[in-house]
Every structure is written in structure tokens, then in C-alpha cells.
Amino acid sequence: MKDKYKNLPLRHGVGIVVLNKFNKVFVAKRIDNPKNFWQMPQGGIDEGEDFFNAALRELEEETSIKNVTLIKEVDGFLTYYLPNHLLGIIWKGKYKGQKQKWFITKFNGEETEINIKTKKPEFLEWKWINIENLSDKVVDFKLDVYRHIQKELIKIV
């Protein structure tokens, strides 16, 4: 990490795993990354917002999904650091990475509820994937987070 960024704080965020009735995981491809990387819904926390409500809000903002039931809150926080080429760029250069609280949920709605063409779209396309493939197509700096989530999912499914 470049010296001028090492003292930046971590951004507090949330992530949410959405499992369908076949225990496949919702992932989507980001608009701002043209490569074949997929991720689960995640984002920041608004002032005064608790972690789970932030996760539900991010899920709805990014995917229009509202019908989920909490299965598990993942213990502790999962952290990732931005690679050097993104430091000073992402989040207006205010953070060096993200410390996230993750939640695992079950999708109770119909697939017609899913709409990634939101007010501020973040995703190009979405799909359901097998748990064992969760860490196959994630950006490298989030790989440890996704492997941890993958292990949590294997334990509960």
C-alpha cells in the first residue's frame, strides 16, 4: 500500500447473501468493471442505520429485492483492502478498504421481483450460482471475504 494512503480509515459496510429455494447464490456483474467479475450486493451504512437495515436497503437499491428472510448474521467483520491502483479513487479517496458486516438470507419472492435497472444502476446482469463457484469470478482483492462467506454457506446449507 502506498504510504500516503496507509493511514486512511476503513469504510464501514455491509454485504448480503441471497439464497434462492435451490440454495444458489445471487451474484451480479458491476457496470463499472468491464471484466467478468461477479459480486453479491453490498454497500455502505448511512448515519444512524443498523447493519441489517443497511444490508436490506442496499439489496433493494441494487436489485429491487425486498422479500428475504434472515438466516444468519456472519460472526465478526470481514475486511478487504483496495489495490494500489484504486487507492485515492474509490469512495472519493477517503478510505483504504472496507470492514463489512455480512448477512445470509433466503429469497422468498418471485424472480420477477428482481430488477437491476434501478434509479442508480450498479449492475449489468445477474444470475444464480452454486455455492462452490462463489469465489471463482470475484475481484482478487475481495477473494478472502468471498472464501469466508463460501465456508459459512457450506456449513448452513
What domains does the chain contain, in order, with CATH numbers?
3-156 (3.90.79.10)
Predicted TM-score of the model (pTM): 0.95
Phi/psi of residue 121, each to 5°? -60, 140
pLDDT in tens, 27-57: 999 998 768 899 999 999 999 999 999 999 9
Q: What is the pLDDT of residue 5?
A: 87
Q: What is each CA distance from 142 to 36, 42, 66, 103, in whole angstroms? A: 14, 12, 25, 16
Asked if residue 3 has pLDDT above 80, the reply is no
What cell does 49 get?
A: 442505520
The rounded distance, in Å, linking the Cα atoms of 82 and 107 is: 30
Q: What is the pLDDT of residue 19?
A: 98
Q: Based on the number of CB atoms within 10 Å of its own CB, is 9 exposed (0-12), middle (13-18) or buried (19 or more)? A: exposed
Residues of the chain above pLDDT 90, percent = 88
DSSP one-letter string for 99-146:
EEEEEEEEE-S-GGG-----SS--EEEEEEE-GGGTTTSS-GGGHHHH
CB atoms within 10 A of CB 143: 13
Query: What region does 153 belong to: left with phi over 0, alpha with psi -120 to 50, or beta?
Result: alpha
Q: What is the pLDDT of residue 44?
A: 95
pLDDT in tens, 73-98: 999 999 999 999 899 988 999 999 99
Asked if residue 1 has pLDDT above 80, the reply is no
The overall average pLDDT reported for the chain is 95
